[in-house]
Amino acid sequence: MSTSQTVRHNKNKKMKKHFYLLCFSLFTQYLFSQQSILSIKILGIKEVKGIIQVGIYNEKDAFPKKGREYRVEYFMVTSKETTVTIENLAHDEYSIALYHDLNSDGECNLNFISIPKEPYGFSNNVKPVLSAPSFERTKFALNSNRTIQIKLID
């Protein structure tokens, strides 16, 4: 190969390398741009103690079963009105089931007929009647950063 051919060959290799790096950069930027932040304003906190456990569900058959959550987040209760933030959620449909773990035992304590003894709530502020609400009634779309409100039920 002559010197001019070698220079041209090296330039082509560099251009291909830069092109692939650009494509990779755009692809990763696209992937990360499909992530959103969900803020949940929790209303009706009566006691400043314990933990709020937030169950995030993205499957109809999993809602609101313990251990079947897409993600679980825990937040210390520091005031009677608080906003919790959940980052890096993919764009999707979600349902939220949360409860205020007053005694910080990691369980939503129930009475003898399986009704929570600790305050709880669902997205869309759906109030259960005789059983937990459905995924369909509690779901919401997350396509960008969003804030929702959930009022606790005693």
Query: Per-residue pLDDT tens for 98-134?
Result: 999 999 999 999 999 888 999 999 999 999 988 899 9
- Rounded distance between C-alpha atoms, residue 112 and residue 98, angstroms: 20
Query: Per-residue pLDDT tens for 31-88?
Result: 555 899 999 999 999 999 999 999 999 999 999 999 999 999 999 999 998 999 999 9
> 93 vs 81, which has greater pLDDT?
93
Longest dimension (CA), the chain: 88
Q: Which of 20-29, 61-70, 90-99, 130-139 has the lowest mean pLDDT?
A: 20-29
Contact partners, residue 121, CB within 8 Å, separation at least 6: 42, 44, 97, 98, 99, 150, 151, 152, 153
pLDDT score, position 6: 60
Other Cβ atoms within 10 Å of 13 Cβ, number: 10
pLDDT score, position 114: 87
State phi, psi for 16 to the nearest 5 degrees: -60, -40
pLDDT score, position 51: 97
* Helix, strand, coil in percent for the chain, rounding step 5: 25, 35, 35
pLDDT score, position 47: 96
pLDDT score, position 34: 83
Q: pTM of the prediction?
A: 0.78
pLDDT score, position 24: 59
- Tokens 């009706």 belong to residue: 44
Q: Among the residues of the chain, which ranges form H helices?
A: 3-33, 135-138
11 three-state secondary structure:
helix
